[in-house]
Structure formats: C-alpha cells, structure tokens
Structure 1
Amino acid sequence: MYLPPERVRTEPPSGGRPGLGSRTEPEPHRPQLHYTPAKNWMNDPNGLVWHDGEYHLFYQYNPEGDGWGNMSWGHAVSTDLLHWQELDVALPADDAEFVFSGCVVVDEHNTAGFGDFALVAVYTSSYPGTGIQAQSLAYSTDRGRTWTKYAGNPVLDIGSGEFRDPKVFWHEPDGHWVMAVVEALARKVVLYGSENLKSWTRLSDFGPAGATGGAWEVPDLFPLPVDGDPQNTKWVLTVSLNPGGVAGGSGTQYFIGDFDGVTFTADNLTSGSQDCSWVDYGRDFYAAVSWNNVPGGERIWIGWMNNWADAAHVPTAPWRGAQSLPRTLALRSLGGAIRLVQQPVKAVRTLRCGAASTLRDHEVGPGRTTLPVRGAVLEIAAEFELGTAERFGLTVRGGTAGEGTLVGYDTRSGELFVDRSSSGATGFSPGFAGRHGGPLPAVRGRTRFTAYIDRSSVEVFGDRGQTVVTDLIFPAPASQGLGLFAEGGTVTLRSLEVWHLS
C-alpha cells in the first residue's frame, strides 16, 4: 500500500545543491553524482591510481575546446571517489605529440630510476607528423602535481599507427612489470614484460576473439576471486571496441581466464558480437579501466559515460563528457558460469538525504501511474513479482507531453532495459533514441534492480550488478516525475525505496 502522501517527500531536501532542477539553472544537464570537468571535452579515463591517500583520475582532455582534439591528460583527485577536485592539466599536448590513453603505476622499488614511490605514467604518444603511435613515460615525485616526460621516449615503438592504450601492473610472482596494449585494427591485446618500465619484451598475444566489429582499445587485465574465495582466483581481460558495441557504436567486452605471467588464456572464448560477454548493455559506458594500488586489494573502475557515435553532439555546455559512477568489481558464479558483476562503490550511500520514501505490495495495472515523489537526482531500489504484464517497471524523469525514461523488465525476452525514446532531447544524433537492454533471469518469479538517476544519465544495476545498463538522457529540467508502468497485464511491486541524493 502507499504511504500516506504527507509522509512522502515531494521536493528535494534542504541542504542540497541550490537550484537543483530549476529552470534557471545555467547548466541543467551538469551531473551531480558524476565527474565532469569545469569546461571543454573529456573522454577516456586514464592513469587511475591510489597514492598517498588520494584517488587520481586522469582523463583524455582538450584544454582548447569542447570537441575532440589537442589530446592531453586532465587531472582530478578525490579521497572518497565521489567528491573531486579538478587540478591543472597533467600532461599537455604539444607540437610534437598528442598524449593518448594510458596508466599510472607507483614505482615502489624505483625500478625506473625516477625515485622511490615515484608515480610513473605510461601513455601513448601520437605523433601528428607521422601518424605513429608509441608508448612513452612521464614521472612525478610530488604526488602527481607536476610531471616530467622521460628524455628517452618512446620506450616501445613498433612503427604502427594503431598501437595504443597501455595498462601496466606489477606481477609479483615473476617480479616484473606487465603491459597490456592493443594492436587496434588487428584486434589483438599484446602483453609485454619489463624489469624497469623502460625496456620491454613481447610476451604473448591474445585475439582476435569475441566482438571484432571495430577497433580494439583500452585493455585492462586483473585478478579477482570467484565468489569471494581467495583460493579460487581467475583473471579478467576487458577490451573496448568502436564500433561494434552491443547497443551500437562503442562498447566494452570481457574475457575470463588464467594468466601465468606470460600468457592470458580465456575460458569463455566466443565469436560474434551477439555471443560476447559485455560489461554494460547500455549505450554509454566505454573505455573503462581500473584503479591501481587500491588499499585492501579492491578492484574499482570507472568508464567514460558516452558513446563515440553520439559524443560530438551531446547537448551540454561548457563541458562535453562525463565519467560513470565508480564501480566495485567481483566475479560471481551464475547459471553454471563465472560472470563479472559490478556495483557502485558503497560510499554512494553516504549521499542519501534522510529516510527513503517507500511503497510495498502494490499491484500495478496496465498503463502508467504517477507517484508522489519527484526528483532529478535519485537512488531507486525496486523488486517486482512477475504477473501477466509483458513489460513493466519505472518511469523516471517524467514530464509533460509524455516525456520520461523507462527503466524496466521485459518478460518475453528476459531483459532488463532502459528505453530513452521519449527521454527529452534525442534528435541531436541519429542513433541516440531507443531501447537498450541485457539478459537478467528472473529468480523465483521476481526481478530486482537499483537505478541511479542523475541530471543527464541513468545507471541501472540488475540483481546485485550481474546486468548493467548505462544511458545518457537529456530531459527538460522540470521533468522530475517518478511513476510505475505495466503493459499487457499486471505486475506486483513488492518493494520500492527512493532516496534523494545530495
């Protein structure tokens, strides 16, 4: 039954950001939960590392404008992965090179000779004059505030124009550095080894495999325990590709297997994009990479919340580009297979404002029902018991003239989905409007998910993160309605909890 209306919060709580959702807000689509630079273009996250009490987020950045170009590394730091301080550009482009994607490691034992515990960036130099892409180094001895490019750059050059995005980690059993880097158009991840970050030896190749409909980019390779058992560890290789993603445009796939310090061997080799293991079934999660050196060994990553097919046209200003919520990764046994699962970092719960508005054991009939809760920045946890409805779920960021985004479940296909066909501004890019979803089996006749709604995005995590859908949306600022819908029959809402987030 419904809570009495007077007990349900209908406006954002006091103490939130002034002007939240107001028509006079000068940047109505500026995210409140997600990192964006103050101005200009941003794409891939780079150089994710924890060091000396700070999480570092570097990213592909254009200091000169809101379109792709002049690729440099922007920089922000945080102590909790939620509140970010934007710093000066870390690695600027110049006439000699663009600074493409890469990583940062903490060189605890001074293997490169830059100093104990120096931060060392391993990045792709893209040389405008020749089109060659090669791997280079830069280092910092002042907590990442200033950087010096290594005089001996590049440190790895195979003479290719499609050789990029190094991710480096220390492999303790063998006592050496390992680099995963892509030969993009060959659809290969190539592994290299080094004792000092400066001299690299080719170890092995992986691929082509899985989805091969576009260029491979931004690899990551890391171990995770299965079902939390440290005695049963598998390795995860993630690879982004553009185009060829599951929702069209760019997307990210993963492989699970074993790594012996030289070779990665996948257990779940597949061919054809429809058979791949996707990290996110939405259209707007790309180039995700994980933080190095996180205390306690947690594996946390973040992705560019955009799609190369739409990114140049999204209607935001003076910035263009946002990062996803940081997500904690795990491996879970599901349906006889091991799957990568992800959920927002627990610190997101600290953004909740007061108690949740709740609704329990409510039958949802055909059509749409408006709830007495409104908001542009929300956390929503829902559980439904299947009935006769073919599709059902929530309408978020609802407004006049039928505006709203559907977050729901399709019983015919067994899919969790986001439908942004009527989400607001959609005409700026031909493929933007539409429905995106992924498989989510019902458990004992029920389905559950948690959705994080921000001013210009929806991130949905089905059944503790086994299926994730991330989509950008650009509704009118006043469109803050929340409702329920069912099509083709009825469904029972067993529980609904809604928190405003500040």
Structure 2
Amino acid sequence: MSGRMVFSVMHKRFSLLLLVLLLVGGCQRPMNDSQTALAPQNSPESRPAVPSAAPTPRPVETQAAASVQPTPGPKTPVDYLATSEARDAYEYPISEASRYQQVYRPQFHFSPAKGWLGDPDGMIRFNNLYHIFWWGHAESKDLVHWNERIWPMIGDNGSFVYYSGSVVVDKHNTSGLAVDSDQPPMIAVYTMHYQGTGEEVQGLSISYDYTSFVYYDQNPVLDSERPAFRDPQVFYHPETDRWIMIITLSDDRKVSFYASQDLKHWEHLSDFGPIGAQSQVWEVPDIFQLSVDGDPTQKKWVLLCGIGPNREQYFVGDFNGKRFTLDPALNGYLLRGEGLPGAVFADFEKGLPAGWTSEGDEIAIGNGENLGLYKTSGFLGAGFLSTYTPGSKTGDRGLATVTSPEFVISTRFINFLVAGGAHGSDGSISLVVDGAAIRRASGDGSDIMKWVSWDVTELAGKKAQIQIVDQRTASDLGHVSVDHILFSDTPMVSGREHANWLDHGADYYAVRTYRDYDNAEDRVVTMGWLGNWEYANDVPTSWGKGALALPREISLASYAGGLRIVQRPIPAFEGLRQEPIQIKQRTLQGITPLSEFKPARNTYEIDATFEITDPKAKFGIKTVVNGDHGVSVGYDANTATLFLDRTNSENARFSGRFAKYMTAPLAPQNGKVRLHIFVDQSSIEVFANDGVVTMSALMFPSPNSLGTELFSEGGETNLQSLRAWELDSIWGVPAE
C-alpha cells in the first residue's frame, strides 16, 4: 500500500506506530504521487507563449483569492507565509552530512534526514530543479545530489492525513490562483485521508515560493463519497486542452480518469480494470507516453499501477484524453495468454478436453461467476476447471478425480494456473509418472489464480498424466481450480499472478514518473519506493524508515511476446565512480573470491558479463559476504532464470517474511548474461541484460560484510568481463 503522498502515512495498516514516527521524524504526514513522466509534449509549459490550443489564461488577481485562504488563519497564502506557524515550519532541519552516517544509511540513494519516507510524490522538473515530495520535500539539480527542504504542507486544520498525490505548475493560470504573472503557482493535488471514517477525498495546496504549500479552503475538490479512492496523478493533456487526473478505486482494482479545466472542478471520464493482477489493492497509478523502439513517431501510452504490498504492474495501450485501451497484443496476452511460449495442453475453454476423464462428483467448467466463485480472478480465456460445483449442488463438499490422457514429456517445464485451498494432497494438481505423483501443487488459500512451474527436464521422454484430485469436503476453500496447462521450455514465476511486472524484486513499489515543466528532457525518468508493506515498519534502521530507488530511464521495446518496458539507471550516477577494477576472460568453477575488489564500505557498482558454457551451470556474484552470509545475484542456465537470494543474508530475521528467494525468467542474449548491480548499504538493485529484467531488494548486512565472490555451480562458466567501482557518498560522508 503506498498511496500516501510522498510522506505516506500509509493506509489503514499504518496506525499509531506510524503516526508516532511521523511526529518524531522529519516527514510528519503521508503523501505520495508524482507528476507524469518527463514527457515535455504533455506538459502545459511546453506550449508556445500564446499557443492556439492553450487554455485561456485567467487574469492574475492583484490579491490572492479568498478561496485559497487557509483554514483557519490569515486571508491569503501570501499573508500566511508571514505567520509564526509558517516561521516554525521553516525551522525543519536541512540535511547535513553528519546526519547520514548511521548503520544502513544509503549513501547514493535518497533518504530523508529523519522520519518516514514512502511513496514518491510531486515529481517535477521546474526552473532547472528536480523536486521530490513525500509530503516532505527535496530538490536536486541532477537527480543524484539532493537538498532537503522544510516541511511543505501548512495551513490545514489537522483533521486529516496527507496521502499520496502529485504537483503541477499552473503556468497559464488555468486555476485562477496566480498572484504574480511572473510566478506561476505550484499546486499540490493529494488525497485527504480521514482516519476515523476511512473516507478519502482529494484536495489542493498552493505554493508561490515553491517551498511552502498552503491549504486551499475550498477543499475537497473531488469527493467520491467512498473509501479507498486515492493517489491522484495529475497532468496536462494538450490534445483535449485540459488537466487529466488518474486515481485508483483501490478495493475495486480499477483506475479512474477525471478531467478539469481549472484543477478545482472535476468530471469523471472513464474507468479501467480490473485486469491483470488483482489479489491486492491497486494504488499509486501513473500514465505517460513512451516511444516504441526509440522511434519518436511511434508512441504508446503506459499505465503503471502498484498492487500491494510490493508489486508494480504495467499496461501498454492508447489514451484518447478520455479512455485508456489496451494494445491488442497485450490485451490478448493478459486475457487469453496469447504469446506465452509453449504449447497449450489444456485450457478448458470448451469443457473437458478430449481424452480427459472425471470420476466422483460432478466437476464444473466456467468463468467463476457462473460457478458461484465470484472472487476468482487470473484465469485466461473464457473459463477454467474447478472441483467446486455451483448452487444447489455439492459446492465444496464434492469429491472428484480428473485425469488427463497420457503424454510424453518433451519440454523442460509444465506451467499452469492454480487456485483454491492449500490442502496438500487432499486438493491438488499432480504430475503422475509410472503410477506415482512426483510433482504436486495446490492453491494458496485463495481463489486468485497464480502460476506454478514444474521443472521436468530430467523426466524427458517419460510417459505421464496430469491428475486433479479433490478429497476435501470442508467449506474452507475445499476445491481445486486449474487453468491453462502449458508445455514450455520457459518457466513462469511460481506464486505470481499473470501480469506484466515492472520489477521482480521484493522491494520496489509506488513508481511514478517525472514531468518536465522546463521542456528540456528527451527521456522519461521514474523513481520508486524501496519498501514492502509486509515489513516496512519493522526494518532495522535508526533514523526513520524508507528510501527511494535509483532514478531510472525507461523505454518501450518490441519483443516476441509484445511490447515490454526496459529500465536503466540514469547515467549521472557514473559521476560518483572511483577508480575501477577490471577483469577479463576468467573461467569460474565453484567459489572464487573477488580479491581484486576491496570496497571500504558497501557502496559500489558491479557490471559483469558471463558467457554460458555449461547449460546446467548456476553462476553469478555474491555480495556483502561475511563468512557464510551474503546476498547472491545470479543466473540459472538450466531454467533460464535470474535470481536474487537473500535467504542467508545477515539481519534477515526481523520479519518472518523478509528472507526471500526472488526469480524472474530471463533469456540469454547471444549466449551471454549481463548483470549490472548497485549495492548501497541496505539495498541492492539489479539491471539484467541491459535492463530487460530488474530486481530491487532491501538487505541489512553488518558494516564489515565487505566481501565479494564469484560463483559457478554445476559446471563451468566464463566470466567475459567485469568492472567494479566504489561509489562516493552524495552526502559527503567519507568511508571509514
């Protein structure tokens, strides 16, 4: 959950502990939302001074309108800035190097001096400065070095909490709130969350000095009269000459689009969803344009959406100023599994396939709703098989065994979607060879379909059958649901819903894009939160909680399965590099300490390219090594899988959900795998094969865990090249 404005005092889950953190820390309230991508063509400031399609500029009032007066307080925001309350706000401490020396403190990722940081909000470039809010505030000239500013949100009556949102620069005074024709107002648009009722409405705050944002006394400007309505991202759409808001209906797994001429009055346009991953709430949406394969004449719209507690999915399509529609290829991929590598063995679109048998009580094939399984999602096509039977029939009490015809195993993997109770052999799908079940899987206790991938490489040539067994009569999801059994040489990620995932690590969420109000960028840059709501309040950091991931340049590229996002770290971080160590052409077998690289602290970058010489080898780099402890990043050539393993990292037991082994499918490029890794005290970010796949994760090694190792298990691997650099601190903190 991270729909809180930058400062994310987060959802319902956040409570007293977080509030205490907020009050003690520099970021006292949540906010999270950013401005749309660095997409100059979509921002009002990119238009000519008197553009034909520009909104009609409103006259600048000589006195601030009464409608922007704070509640309670002085009559205007300008007057407000002279009050003692505003002066007190300016006493918020600015960052100093001495404040950035704590254990686990990131040295080249942004984190606030103290307090909570959650979703990034208000991400804009304006007057040659990059801004980031969390409803704290920081500025940067290069997206690398940051200056933390005073607490920005002032003038409200304290009855609500700031959740996530965005910031716009109203250069044409469409709002009528400007007081100086040479100083356009900067306007924050955010969710006002009322903790007592859970109600969420949208409000504005206005800034004329680009430092303090004064509460607008006509708030709320948008009220859906319902909870779970949050995280507005606002941008200007020149084709329709109006502001567009994208916002989530979190519980419904939808995003809504609204339009406004003045930022104060909003009209509902359309909804998108539910589709893709739906097991958790949707939050922190964004939408922006990307060129396809670098061709500026071919553009697609990309819609990002967080799915709690830690995932980010994306959709590619078109936006006409009113409605977002999926690209046809992606629509087929998400709804029907079109483009998935392999051959479909059974998809249950037209009932039980030929040759399959069913014994026991009646089984059902349908779309969930017609089976009485109203919450089932994630299946592909028109329906799926379930041992649950609807209405007045047996429901969960039925017993059934469904068996496929015999087949010969000829691919490396058997992939399928499964849901239902986690009841082991009492409710499962099995692979039967020579009369014995040698692979078995069940649902995870929900009716959300998730992938399971069986590696059957060593069973090639064997005769086998698929068997679905339900021997559970209790009403505790005592059924098995199965869909889209696929024979393939490419694995799916087990335990994951069918979706397009932006990052495959455990700790990358609430991603937003920068909007360029200087019309100076030819790129789209994202930033996300390095965090996970499963343990965000428990991480062992002393100054507060939360940091931001590296800013990433993102692009859209064509692949066999359709259009996919590619991500790379912005080049500006190369300026932090110290002298490199370099290695070329080294044969790896077993564990090889990287003795040439001796970092003084865990702030470094490694760029390594491996050549696959044994198809059964598992190879890579182990970071933050201390004895047997460490965090490994590697590639399993046998399963064509990238992995990040922190199960044996130090200080991983503060939460039972932290010690994770993360995987993602990754095809080698011309028989090679490139791993570009950034380690920064308490985080690791991996860009594989030039950013085709990324993984981001937290870790908490001790300060003396400075070892680095190369490894190749199960066979030899050729390390073609490796470069490694220690990276300087952006806060000027020397390495001890």
TM-score by length of 1: 0.89
Residues 100, 165 of structure 1: 8 Å contact kept: yes
| 1:467 is the counterpart of 2:533 | no
Aligned match of 1:292: 515
Name the SS for the 2:537 alignment partner: helix
Name the SS for the 2:609 alignment partner: strand
| 1:209 is the counterpart of 2:275 | yes
Q: Give me the whole-angstrom Cα distance separating, in 1, the residues matched to 2:613 and 2:547.
A: 38
Offset at residue 368 of structure 1 (A) = 4.2
Q: Give me the whole-angstrom Cα distance separating, in 2, the residues matched to 1:420 and 1:130.
A: 39
| 1:163 is the counterpart of 2:229 | yes
Offset at residue 26 of structure 1 (A) = 5.5
The C-alpha deviation readout for 1:245-303, integer Å capped at 9, x for no partner, is: xxxxx211000001111110012242635321111100011001111126224211111
| 1:29 is the counterpart of 2:254 | no
| 1:437 is the counterpart of 2:688 | no
Q: Give me the whole-angstrom Cα distance separating, in 2, the residues matched to 1:367 and 1:501.
A: 25
Higher strand share: 1
Residues 425, 475 of structure 1: 8 Å contact kept: yes
Aligned match of 1:67: none
Aligned match of 1:332: 557
Aligned match of 2:172: 109
Name the SS for the 1:348 alignment partner: helix
Name the SS for the 2:120 alignment partner: strand
Read off the aligned partner of 1:308 and give its amino acid letter: W
Aligned match of 2:421: none
The aligned runs of 1:155-194 (5 Å cut-off) are 155-194=221-260
Q: Give me the whole-angstrom Cα distance separating, in 2, the residues matched to 1:46 and 1:26.
A: 26
Residues 591, 709 of structure 2: 8 Å contact kept: no
Aligned in 2, Cα 1:74/1:444: closer, same or farther, shift over 3 Å? same
Aligned match of 2:675: 449
2:652 maps to which of 413, 426, 437: 426
Unaligned segments of structure 1, at least 5 residues = 1-16, 20-24, 60-72, 244-249
Q: Give me the whole-angstrom Cα distance separating, in 1, the residues matched to 2:173 and 2:247.
A: 23
The aligned runs of 1:104-143 (5 Å cut-off) are 104-115=167-178, 117-142=184-209
Residues 151, 212 of structure 2: 8 Å contact kept: no
Q: Give me the whole-angstrom Cα distance separating, in 1, the residues matched to 2:217 and 2:97.
A: 48
Residues 371, 484 of structure 1: 8 Å contact kept: no
| 1:397 is the counterpart of 2:620 | no
Residues 36, 319 of structure 1: 8 Å contact kept: no
| 1:253 is the counterpart of 2:313 | yes
Tell me how many residue pairs correspond in the alignment. Answer: 459
The C-alpha deviation readout for 1:447-492, integer Å capped at 9, x for no partner, is: 1121011111110001111100001110110111111011111100
Name the SS for the 2:227 alignment partner: coil
| 1:82 is the counterpart of 2:144 | yes
Name the SS for the 1:449 alignment partner: strand
Residues 182, 218 of structure 1: 8 Å contact kept: yes
Offset at residue 366 of structure 1 (A) = 2.4
Q: Give me the whole-angstrom Cα distance separating, in 2, the residues matched to 1:118 and 1:414.
A: 51
Offset at residue 370 of structure 1 (A) = 3.9
Q: Give me the whole-angstrom Cα distance separating, in 1, the residues matched to 2:598 and 2:316.
A: 41
Residues 234, 257 of structure 1: 8 Å contact kept: yes
Q: Give me the whole-angstrom Cα distance separating, in 2, the residues matched to 1:186 and 1:209.
A: 11
Residues 377, 453 of structure 1: 8 Å contact kept: yes
Judge which range, 127-136 or 156-165, deviates more: 127-136
The aligned runs of 1:240-319 (5 Å cut-off) are 240-243=306-309, 250-267=310-327, 268-269=330-331, 270=334, 272=378, 273-293=496-516, 295-319=520-544
Q: Give me the whole-angstrom Cα distance separating, in 2, the residues matched to 1:284 and 1:446.
A: 27
**Bigger radius of gyration among the two:** 2
Q: Give me the whole-angstrom Cα distance separating, in 1, the residues matched to 2:101 and 2:290.
A: 43
The C-alpha deviation readout for 1:311-351, integer Å capped at 9, x for no partner, is: 11111012211110111111111235211111111101111
Read off the aligned partner of 1:82 and give its amino acid letter: V
Aligned match of 1:152: 218
Name the SS for the 1:274 alignment partner: coil
Structure 1 segments, 4+ long, off by >4 Å, are: none
Q: Give me the whole-angstrom Cα distance separating, in 2, the residues matched to 1:251 and 1:409.
A: 22
Q: Give me the whole-angstrom Cα distance separating, in 2, the residues matched to 1:252 and 1:394.
A: 26
Q: What's the % identity of the aligned pairs?
A: 40
Residues 104, 292 of structure 1: 8 Å contact kept: no
Read off the aligned partner of 2:125 and give its amino acid letter: W
The aligned runs of 1:29-108 (5 Å cut-off) are 29-59=104-134, 73-91=135-153, 95-108=158-171
Aligned match of 2:287: 221
Q: Give me the whole-angstrom Cα distance separating, in 2, the residues matched to 1:289 and 1:85.
A: 20
Aligned in 2, Cα 1:495/1:257: closer, same or farther, shift over 3 Å? same
Aligned match of 2:586: 362
Aligned match of 1:387: 613
Q: Give me the whole-angstrom Cα distance separating, in 2, the residues matched to 1:82 and 1:334.
A: 32
The C-alpha deviation readout for 1:373-413, integer Å capped at 9, x for no partner, is: 1221111111011122431000111112x111101111122
Q: Give me the whole-angstrom Cα distance separating, in 2, the residues matched to 1:367 and 1:18.
A: 38
Aligned match of 2:340: none
